Amino acid sequence: MATEASHSLLEDFEGRGPIARQSLHEAIVARVRDMIIEGELAPGTRIHEGNLGGKLGVSRTPLREALKFLASEGLVELSPGRGAVVRQFSAKDVYDSLVVLGALEGLAGRLACEQATDKDIREVRRLHDHMMEMYASRDRLPYFKLNQNIHSAILRLTKNEALAYVHGTLQARLRRIRYIGNEGPEKWAAAVADHEEIISALEARDAERLSKVLTVHMERTWERVRNSI
Amino acid sequence: MATEASHSLLEDFEGRGPIARQSLHEAIVARVRDMIIEGELAPGTRIHEGNLGGKLGVSRTPLREALKFLASEGLVELSPGRGAVVRQFSAKDVYDSLVVLGALEGLAGRLACEQATDKDIREVRRLHDHMMEMYASRDRLPYFKLNQNIHSAILRLTKNEALAYVHGTLQARLRRIRYIGNEGPEKWAAAVADHEEIISALEARDAERLSKVLTVHMERTWERVRNSI
DNA sequence: CGCAAGTATTCTGCATACAGAATTTTGTTT
DNA sequence: AAACAAAATTCTGTATGCAGAATACTTGCG
């Protein structure tokens, strides 16, 4: 099985102007992370440094560095002498992560109501409205991505980097699960209803209500995804 | 300034029997992390791959991999073209982290009361009593380490890996701050009092009380360390 | 004496080379 | 044909080499 003579990340990088100041390291991390999230690298798969490097058009050295980075994030596991393996998350892992995310988003809701500027909140409203358009037209993928963006945005509103960071790492672990979790119409509608309340509580700067609905939203998320694991 | 011809991590590793199955990668990560926590690598320092590699007795390749790992943890920052720099945490960073840790320990307190076995709790009691002996003899360093161990142990009692993981990464960022934070006798006594209540609530499996005291303990920790940043 | 431009050196980032461990294939025996 | 053993191959882990960027140094000029 020959490695597809594909598109080189390095060329991408060199092609960019001075605007995209990201390093090749970050590009590889982002690319491999996406491959894991989108299932191109299935959980449990042993990552072959030669093949993957060839596919991405980079040598093993920067690829290995990226894998260590992802290992620290918890997306891959390192087994000494046997390289990196795409981490498998059990149903319990997912549930546990959602419990923690519930607590983190609960805290974020409280802080966001205190810290956010009116402009910040309008920005979230814009994302929300856009997401609702995607719901109206039943465009799953854009809806999914906007959904993620809204949650990340609320985390950023807290202006608490540590909070945004830990939320981000847990979120990344679950992104794949949510990505595949295509819930039915009634569950989707319930999720949308949650989001209506989220934006409403945020605009009212009702810390308790926002905190509560975000935590409950996480619990309901578990109900939605538990069968697709 | 010549690099000290020191003790090689690689030799350490080769010297070990089959018991210590940790890889050289993990050894380097642990060593550099300790150097950061203990201040041997000061915040803001640019890490010189050649020098540090020489000091540890390893080549640049595994060292660079370890630095990427630590970058993901947030202990070092990568600036493209300029290598790795030991991350500086501002007072706000520390406060923000403590706020998140407060929420996480609060959650952990609730979960620990549900999930812990009696044996688990006895183990924490043992650590607690041992820590109290160290307090009695005013042995700061052992006290400090046991203190950390107790908090980590409570996190493990939850049997929630995701929770323990995010707690661990934030904890690592603060370890250096706490390490240097030598509070006076009355503040130390107050911290000890908190710990008495923690173990008492845990043994009573009083989830609300344990959750509360752990969160408050974090807030008080901020009061203790805020002036030493 | 200060400052700037140009040069020299050092350092990072990536690729490659090499040794040893892990795995697969092959061959042999029952 | 199955199972074990041994050889061959593949793969990982580390060191080293090399190009280009970043930094330090030197020299010339105001």
pLDDT tens, position by position, A212-229: 999 999 999 998 888 877
What does the pLDDT read at residue A18?
36
Neighbour tally for A216: CB within 10 Å: 15
Q: Given an 8 Å threshold on Cβ–Cβ distance, is A100 in contact with B162?
A: yes
Distance from C-alpha of A4 to C-alpha of A2, rounded to nearest angstrom: 6
pLDDT one digit per residue (tens) for chain B, 229 residues: 333 445 666 665 544 433 334 689 999 999 999 999 989 999 999 999 999 999 999 999 999 999 999 999 999 999 999 999 999 999 999 999 999 999 999 999 999 999 999 999 999 999 999 999 999 999 988 999 999 999 999 999 999 999 999 999 999 999 888 776 667 888 889 999 999 999 999 999 999 999 999 999 999 999 888 887 7
**Whether residue B95 is found in the same domain as residue B182:** yes
What ipTM was assigned to the predicted interfaces of this complex? 0.89
Residues in chain B with CB shorter than 8 Å from the CB of A23 are: 78, 80-81
Q: Given an 8 Å threshold on Cβ–Cβ distance, is A22 in contact with B66?
A: no
Which of A21, A68, A218 to substitute to test the interface with B, most B CBs within 10 Å? A68
Q: Is A82 (CB) below 7 Å from strand C? A: yes
- Plot region of B45 (φ>0 → left; ψ -120 to 50 → alpha; else → beta): beta
Q: Is B16 (CB) below 7 Å from strand C? A: no
**Whether residue A183 is found in the same domain as residue A104:** yes
**Whether residue A220 is found in the same domain as residue A185:** yes
Of B73, B80, B103, which has the smallest distance from its Cβ to A72's Cβ? Answer: B73
- Plot region of B39 (φ>0 → left; ψ -120 to 50 → alpha; else → beta): left
Q: Residue A61's closest chain B neighbor by CA? A: B61
**Whether residue A80 is found in the same domain as residue A96:** no
What does the pLDDT read at residue A113?
97
Domain boundary among B44, B64, B86: B86
What does the pLDDT read at residue A12?
56
Confidence of residue A17 (pLDDT cuts 50, 70, 90): very low
**Whether residue B62 is found in the same domain as residue B127:** no
Residue A1 lies in a domain: no
Confirm if B76 and B33 have CB atoms less than 8 A apart: no
What does the pLDDT read at residue A177?
80
Total domains in chain B come to 2
Percent of chain A with pLDDT over 90: 78
Confirm if A87 and A75 have CB atoms less than 8 A apart: yes
Q: Which of A106, A98, A84 lies closest to A181 in space, CA to CA? A: A98
Any idea which residue has 């892992």 for tokens?
Answer: A93
Domain boundary among A86, A109, A136: A86
Q: Which of B31, B95, B101, B99 lies closest to B66 in space, CA to CA? A: B31
Q: What is the pLDDT of residues A73-125, one digit of tens each?
A: 999 999 999 999 999 999 999 999 999 999 999 999 999 999 999 999 999 99
Residue B4 lies in a domain: no
Q: For chain A, how are helix, strand and coil distributed in percent, rounded to 5?
A: 70, 5, 25
Distance from C-alpha of A103 to C-alpha of B214, rounded to nearest angstrom: 15
Nucleotide D7 C1' to residue A186 CA (A):
61
Of A68, A69, A169, which has the smallest distance from its Cβ to B166's Cβ? Answer: A169
Sign of CA dihedral B170, B74, A12, A39: negative
Find how far residue B228's CA is from the centre of its chain. 18
**Whether residue B80 is found in the same domain as residue B27:** yes
Domain boundary among A64, A86, A108: A86
Q: How far is A199 from chain B (nearest CA, A)?
A: 23
Q: Given an 8 Å threshold on Cβ–Cβ distance, is A69 in contact with B73?
A: no
CB-proximal positions of chain C, under 7 Å? 11-17, 21-23
Q: Given an 8 Å threshold on Cβ–Cβ distance, is B166 in contact with A71?
A: no
What does the pLDDT read at residue A224?
85
Strands annotated E in chain B: 46-47, 76-78, 84-86
Residues in chain A with CB shorter than 8 Å from the CB of B21 are: 80
Q: What is the CATH number of the domain that holds B25?
A: 1.10.10.10
**Whether residue A133 is found in the same domain as residue A176:** yes
Tell me the average pLDDT of chain A. Answer: 89
Q: What is the pLDDT of residues B78-114, one digit of tens each?
A: 999 999 999 999 999 999 999 999 999 999 999 999 9
Q: Given an 8 Å threshold on Cβ–Cβ distance, is B80 in contact with A23?
A: yes
Structure tokens at B16: 């070990």
Q: Given an 8 Å threshold on Cβ–Cβ distance, is B163 in contact with A93?
A: no
* Closest nt to residue B46, judged CA to C1': C11
Distance from C-alpha of A38 to C-alpha of A35, rounded to nearest angstrom: 5
- Residue range(s) defining the domain that contains residue B186: 91-228
Of A21, A93, A163, which has the smallest distance from its Cβ to B100's Cβ? Answer: A163
Q: How far is A73 from chain B (nearest CA, A)?
A: 7
